[in-house]
Amino acid sequence: MKRLYKFLLNTLPRPLLIRLSYPFKAVAPIIYRGSNVTCPVCENSFRKFLSYGSNVAHRENVLCPYDLTLERHRLMWLYLKNETDFFTAKKKVLHIAPEQCFHSTFKKQKNLDYLTGDLESPIADMHFDLHNVPLESNQFDVIFCNHVLEHVEDANRCMKELYRMMKPGGWGIFQVPQDFNLEVTLEDPSITDPKEREKVFWQKDHVRLFGKDYPKWLERAGFNVTVFDPQQHFSVEDIEKHRLMPKELLYIANKAIA
C-alpha cells in the first residue's frame, strides 16, 4: 500500500490527483485516528501524517490525510492567522496555482475579493502563463504564488509580473523549495532529463533549486522582503505537533508605496 501510494503521488498528473483526493478525505480521519499531530488548517488531529516527496526529497509524517496540507501550507496558515488581518480585513487577492487545502476556505471568505489562476489547474478561475498574465497592474492587495517559481522558464520575469499586479502597499507570499546549503540558486538549462532534474533540483519537473540568495531574487524584481522565522514564533513542541520545517523561512514580499 505504501509503495502504491508513493507511486501514485509521483506519477499521476496534478489535476487528476486533486480529483482523486476528495473520496480519500471521507475515510482518512478514521484510518489515521489519533492525537500525535494536528493540522491547524482543517483542525483535525491524527496519529501521524502521510509521507510525501520525490525520491530525492522524500519526507515522512508531513502530508495531512484530510486536507492534504504540507509543512509549507501549515506555516503559511499560521502566519496568516497570527500575524495578519487576512481573515478579517477587506482585500483583493490573487492566488496563483491555488492549493486545494486553501481554495474553498478563501473562496468563502466574505472579506476577500478572491481570484485564482493557473496554467491548467481544474480549480482555478483563469488559465494563463505566469510569464505574461492578462491582468491589469496595481490591483491586488495580496498575492500568493507558492511552489511555482521553481517550475517556470524565466523566474525573474514571473516575479516582475507578480510585482506589476500588486498594489503599492500590498504584500505576497511566494514559497519555493530552498536548499540552505546553496549560497547561490542552481540553474542549468542543459539538464533536461527528468531523472537528472530530480537528482539535481529535487523534482523531475523543476528547472532550478533556489539557494540562500532567494530573497535577492525578489528584491531584484522590486520587492522589499521581510522574513518570518518559525523558530522565533513557535515552541519546539508546536513545531513538532504541526510538523513544520524548523529551518523553513517565510519570505514576505512587499511593494512599497510610491
By the 10 Å C-beta count (0-12 exposed, 13-18 middle, 19+ buried), 35 is classed as exposed
Does the structural domain 72-254 have CATH classification 3.40.1360.10?
Answer: no
**Residue 1 CB partners (closer than 8 Å, separation 6+):** none
Task: Write the pLDDT tens digit of every residue in 201-243.
Answer: 999 999 999 999 999 999 999 999 999 999 999 999 999 999 9
Alpha-carbon distance 228 to 215, whole Å? 12
Indicate the domain borders of the chain: 2-70, 72-254
pTM of the model: 0.90
Q: Where are the beta strands (DSSP E) in 125-223?
A: 126-127, 140-145, 166-173, 186-187, 208-209
Burial degree of 203 (CB within 10 A; 0-12, 13-18, 19+): buried
- What are the pLDDT digits (tens) for 34-82? 999 999 999 999 999 988 888 888 899 999 988 889 999 999 999 999 9
Cα→Cα distances 46→4, 33, 139, 161, 240, Å: 21, 5, 40, 40, 13
